């Protein structure tokens, strides 16, 4: 795939214009109960659930995708910090909007 140099300059300019200093996916986390956060998109759509839990004496966070039924949610992973958990949930959300690689 070939891109013109002007395309990369335009993309860089868009990134500089739209960058929000200090923003982190953790700012999308809304605590709905002690130890439970819903990851919310800008228009109120939930896209992930983070839960604080303790396993074998260690505390951490379990992250799943959002679905109405708990059984329909997909595990994203386990993380030691809330920041890492929020970033993982947000990355999965962004990946769901990206085109899939392959031949169309």
Domain limits, the chain = 23-95
Q: Report how far apart the first and last C-alpha atoms of the chain are (Å, whole number).
A: 15
Residues recorded for the chain? 104
CA distance readout (Å), 33 to 20, 38, 42: 28, 10, 20
Tell me the per-residue pLDDT of 56-101, one tens digit each, with 9 for 90 and over.
889 999 999 999 999 999 999 999 999 999 999 999 998 888 777 7
Tell me the per-residue pLDDT of 4-22, one tens digit each, with 9 for 90 and over.
677 777 777 776 776 667 7
Q: What residues form DSSP beta bridges with 75?
A: 64
The residue-averaged pLDDT of 18-29 equals 80
The residue-averaged pLDDT of 12-33 equals 81
The position carrying tokens 């059984």 is 71
pLDDT of residue 1: 41
The residue-averaged pLDDT of 36-52 equals 95
């Amino acid at each position: 795939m070939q891109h013109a140099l002007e395309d990369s300059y335009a993309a860089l300019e868009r990134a500089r214009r739209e960058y929000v200093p200090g923003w982190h996916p953790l700012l999308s986390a809304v605590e709905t109960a002690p130890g439970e956060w819903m990851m919310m998109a800008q228009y109120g759509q939930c896209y992930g659930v983070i839960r604080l839990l303790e396993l074998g004496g260690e505390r951490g966070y379990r992250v799943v995708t959002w679905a109405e039924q708990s059984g329909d949610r997909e595990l994203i992973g386990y993380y030691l910090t809330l920041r890492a958990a929020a970033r993982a949930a947000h990355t999965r959300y962004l990946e769901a909007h990206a085109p899939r690689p392959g031949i169309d």
